[in-house]
Amino acid sequence: MTTPSLAAFARTRRGTGPGLLLAHGAGGGIEANYGPIMEGLTARHTVVGVDYPGAGATPKAQGPLDIDELADQLVAAADAEGLGTFAVSGYSLGGAVAIRLATRHPERVSSLVLSAAFSHADTRTVLVSSIWQHLFETGPHAVLAEYLNLMTLSEPALNSLTPAQVDASAEQLATALPSGTGDQLDLVRRIDVRRDLAGIEVPTLVVVTTADPLISPALQRELAATIPTAETAELPTGHLPFIEDPQGWLKLISDFLART
């Protein structure tokens, strides 16, 4: 595996206060996934995140991604920003990265927030991500963008849009897909952190996106049920809480972190 060095990873640092690391989802990035709630997070925390290879300004990797490497790079970014201990918020694929980080560096992690997350890819997730990767690699990306609208938005959110609005959204998304999307989806299919879950001892919030057509709510609840310290909160959105209900998502995260 050849991944960029720490210096090459695009790093976000904003705010002041206790440390909060952000782990983003596949085909996303720190700004794409957390931008809509960043102001709220940085009001009380020093927020640090890195974009995975092929996302944001981070160069694309020359080989398969490794979850341990992503977790360690996030900790290295925390070190570079002077954070000793920190909470970790992981969204989607970032949830598994956050779990692995807490397993590899338990003395550093004060709490976890896992949103729209999964510990392993079930058959449905493998199928969805395989189609996503195939459309990304073969094009046209406009078709992929339409597929992603279908597979990420809740039914009420999708039906609130007109066909013309859906088309416009797809056109915009098609030009913004990160170059490392295929590599990140390959990692989604290989993820399995189930053995890590029983050893998590820090307070953990699992935010279940209950109208999620991409990552099954049942798979999200299975994750919560396997973490001894987990509590569950439900958010009635699809896979993109930062689009459908950013303030609701921010409140769940902020309230939990304030308590823990």
Rounded CA-CA distance 136/142 in Å is 10
Rounded CA-CA distance 19/109 in Å is 10
92 flagged as catalytic: yes
β-strand 86-91 against 19-23: which pairing, if any?
A: parallel
Question: In Å, what is the CA distance from 233 to each residue of 68, 115, 197?
Answer: 27, 9, 18
Buried/exposed code over 38-47 (b: 16+ C-beta within 10 A; e: otherwise): bebbbeebbb
72 flagged as catalytic: no
Active-site residue (options: 92, 119, 129, 169): 92
196 flagged as catalytic: no
Residue ranges of alpha helices (H) inside 105-260 are 123-138, 141-152, 155-159, 163-174, 181-190, 194-197, 217-226, 241-244, 246-259
Structure tokens belonging to residue 173? 């998304």
Whether the CB-CB separation of 111 and 119 falls below 8 Å is answered with no
> At residue 198, what are phi and psi to the nearest 5 degrees?
-65, -20
Rounded CA-CA distance 241/36 in Å is 10
- Active site positions, annotated: 92, 212, 239
